[in-house]
Structure 1
Amino acid sequence: MNHLTSRQIGIPCVMMRGGTSRGPFFLASDLPASPAERDALLLSVMGAGNDLGIDGIGGGNPLTSKVAIVGPATLAGADVDYLFAQVRVQEGIVDTSPNCGNMLAAVAPFAIEAGLVPATDGVTVVRIHNVNTGKLIEARVQTPDGRVTYEGEAVIDGVPGTAAPIHLAFLDAAGANTGRLLPTGAPVDRIIGIDGTDGIEVSCIDAAIPVMLVRAADLGKTGHEPMDSYRLDRVFMARLEALRVEAGRRMGFPNAAGMVIPKPVLLAPPTRGGTLAVRYFMPHDCHRAMAITGAVATATACTIPGTVASALAGRMALPGDVTFEHPAGRLTVRLDPGAGQSAPTASILRTSRRLFEGTVFARPSDPPRAAMAA
């Protein structure tokens, strides 16, 4: 329960790393039921209004400005609900339109240790209802002797050391936000450049998260540049944003400029034995690795004839693996035929760690600056 200390609002909180992201985890019962009040509180907790989140626990980067809210399941067949919130610290906005697959990796361990799901000896299977998209994800967590363990030999690029493996299976990822795997109805769309140049081919895919896939070469890039170089190239970023906003409009997001979806993804031929080289944007900065939901969407696109991804990756048979080369290393997505589904079932190995637990404080006087992105 919330409590007041020195005129501040204290909320029970657990900070966790999930995959290559990090953020506070809250029980839904500890936060206001009103979305506006909840979001104003989250903005205060994360230190919004400053690019470093200096007056909060945000990490000054989109990968560390994330929040997970977990509670009892409201969907049949699920064990828990998981609402993801991306806190855009500079703009003072809480965006709940996307899912986050890396934070998702820590949801099941958090839920088990919070007493929402009973643990079994060996491996505990937790079915997670992602409230943002209405989709189910199955997580398999190591629970020897009925207790969550974070220690193990699994390695994921972008995170130092080793940890216990967590296997995530996206059971029916198609149409996460738009209701359609191909929101525009076509595997490829041509968008005229902001400078009036010939149209750029993009693929608009909605599987786990809406993405806009584009060949790096079509935007004058190799797709292998250091991640910081993209942000510093203002002309490139302006072109990418213009493409993203127009792709979003065609996907059914007329206000995409104020949202973090669709996410743009640059694709290029691999150089280290993978399937594709990728640069994933969040959307205004290049990801230091690769988002899990973005990996699911891009891997799914590899199985759809005619998409930008399938043209670069070549013909793919199921079951099979798609390996992405990203700035921090590699990420592999396992694709299996989805029974009666429009998209394959995508499975990914992740890890997580519980970092600390206690009480985080919000200012009671902070105005409700949050804006729910619809």
Structure 2
Amino acid sequence: FAQVSIAEPVVDYDINCGNISAAVGAYAVDEGIVEVTEPVTRVRIHNTNTGRVLVAEVPVVNGAAAVEGDLVIQGVPGSGAPIALDFGETAGGVTGSLLPTGRELDVLDASIGPVEVSIIDVSNLTVFFPAAAVGMSGTELPSEFTEEHLEAIEAVKQAAAKALGMGTDGLIPVPALVAEPADFTSYATGKVVSANEIDLIARVVGGRPAVPHKAYPGTVGACTGVAARIPGTTVHRVTRQPGEGEIRIGHMSGVMPVRARVGRSGEEWKVEEAVYYRTARRLAEGRAYIRTSALSSGPGER
């Protein structure tokens, strides 16, 4: 997966995209890349960015990926056929370990002061921290993120990257602020989401330039679900635990349900399941033609 910046001449290969992952499964079915079975085809997808495998369960009708369905993703218009994405096998894709520091909770010496964080490496490497650590409640809309908030969030991200021995100019670790359930207004609908409808609140800032995500990245959702199952993490502390059921993440545009299971293997935590749902359909086919000379010329010469 490659993410092209819309503001800088930069292509990032250090993350994965949960939406594109769903499209990969549907494409593999439609193009006959995998053996198709109805009503569901299981597609194992190798993410070469991280060397890990994720699993897409694609609904199939008449030999093709189903399009029509009742799944509504809050923050996305319309509905579609549900594609289940399981990132349970992706732990340690960047750092080699689900808990890169070996601990559920760390205190980072960020430029804004000491901050409690949990760094989790599954689906997308993420650093979770309390919203209050950056002067926020967690219920903010995009317009309520000030420059001071964004700078504080970036400071936590950079401190986490340094703690892992990584560069500070990449997109990971993804910074995610979390808080206990509370009523908030959906950016997508303008309606109030009740605290009773969610198990925790989370907000993500990312991209180039870094801006508040107006919903919630699927991969970070899977990571959030796993973190919520591990006692001692910043996410577990704010989550209303729903037993073995889904964990409902209250994000900028509504609610994202995820399924997560973890277990112990000796002294280590192991991810058994990290599932969320997406929809995908083919939008267009076409060809783009370029000059042969452009293949060997520099960006300024094309």
- What is the TM-score when the length of structure 2 is the normalising length? 0.86
Q: Choose from 282, 298, 301 the match for 1:367.
A: 298
1:252 aligns with 2:165: yes
1:201 aligns with 2:116: yes
- After superposition, the Cα gap between the structure-2 partners of 1:193 and 1:247, relative to the gap in structure 1 and judged at 3 Å, is closer
- After superposition, the Cα gap between the structure-2 partners of 1:337 and 1:234, relative to the gap in structure 1 and judged at 3 Å, is closer
Letter in 1 for 2:285: E
Worse-matched range after superposition: 218-227 or 166-175: 166-175
Separation in structure 1 between the aligned mates of residue 271 and residue 259 of structure 2, nearest angstrom: 13
1:280 aligns with 2:208: no
1:150 aligns with 2:74: no
Q: CA deviation at 1:316?
A: 6.5
Separation in structure 1 between the aligned mates of residue 246 and residue 176 of structure 2, nearest angstrom: 19
Which ranges in structure 1 are unaligned for 5 or more consecutive residues?
1-83, 370-374
Q: Choose from 247, 250, 267 the match for 1:322.
A: 247
1:17 maps to what in 2?
none
Q: Choose from 45, 48, 68 the match for 1:131.
A: 48
| Count of residue pairs the alignment pairs up | 279
- After superposition, the Cα gap between the structure-2 partners of 1:303 and 1:362, relative to the gap in structure 1 and judged at 3 Å, is farther
Say whether the 8 Å CA contact 1:176–1:208 is kept in structure 2: yes
1:303 maps to what in 2?
229
2:191 maps to what in 1?
none
Separation in structure 1 between the aligned mates of residue 156 and residue 262 of structure 2, nearest angstrom: 32
2:83 maps to what in 1?
166
| Per-residue CA distance 1:313-340 (angstroms, 9 max, x = gap) | 15565x3321101111111111235696
Separation in structure 1 between the aligned mates of residue 135 and residue 116 of structure 2, nearest angstrom: 13
Pairwise mapping of residues 60-75 of structure 1 onto structure 2 (< 5 A)?
Answer: none
1:261 aligns with 2:172: yes
2:274 maps to what in 1?
346
2:156 maps to what in 1?
243
Separation in structure 2 between the aligned mates of residue 188 and residue 316 of structure 1, nearest angstrom: 22
Worse-matched range after superposition: 104-113 or 333-342: 333-342
Local SS of the residue matching 2:285 = strand
Separation in structure 1 between the aligned mates of residue 283 and residue 157 of structure 2, nearest angstrom: 35
Separation in structure 2 between the aligned mates of residue 308 and residue 219 of structure 1, nearest angstrom: 14
Higher-RCO chain (CA-CA 8 Å, sequence separation at least 6)? 1
Letter in 1 for 2:128: L
- After superposition, the Cα gap between the structure-2 partners of 1:362 and 1:323, relative to the gap in structure 1 and judged at 3 Å, is farther
Say whether the 8 Å CA contact 1:324–1:330 is kept in structure 2: yes
| Per-residue CA distance 1:116-142 (angstroms, 9 max, x = gap) | 123223221111111112222211112
Say whether the 8 Å CA contact 2:58–2:83 is kept in structure 1: yes
- What is the TM-score when the length of structure 1 is the normalising length? 0.70
Q: CA deviation at 1:172?
A: 1.6
| Per-residue CA distance 1:30-58 (angstroms, 9 max, x = gap) | xxxxxxxxxxxxxxxxxxxxxxxxxxxxx
Letter in 2 for 1:152: G
Separation in structure 1 between the aligned mates of residue 77 and residue 128 of structure 2, nearest angstrom: 29
Separation in structure 2 between the aligned mates of residue 368 and residue 114 of structure 1, nearest angstrom: 33
Pairwise mapping of residues 209-220 of structure 1 onto structure 2 (< 5 A)?
Answer: 209-220=124-135
1:331 maps to what in 2?
256
| Per-residue CA distance 1:77-102 (angstroms, 9 max, x = gap) | xxxxxxx1111132211111111112
Q: Identical aligned pairs, as a percentage?
A: 36
Separation in structure 2 between the aligned mates of residue 342 and residue 165 of structure 1, nearest angstrom: 26
Q: CA deviation at 1:357?
A: 1.0
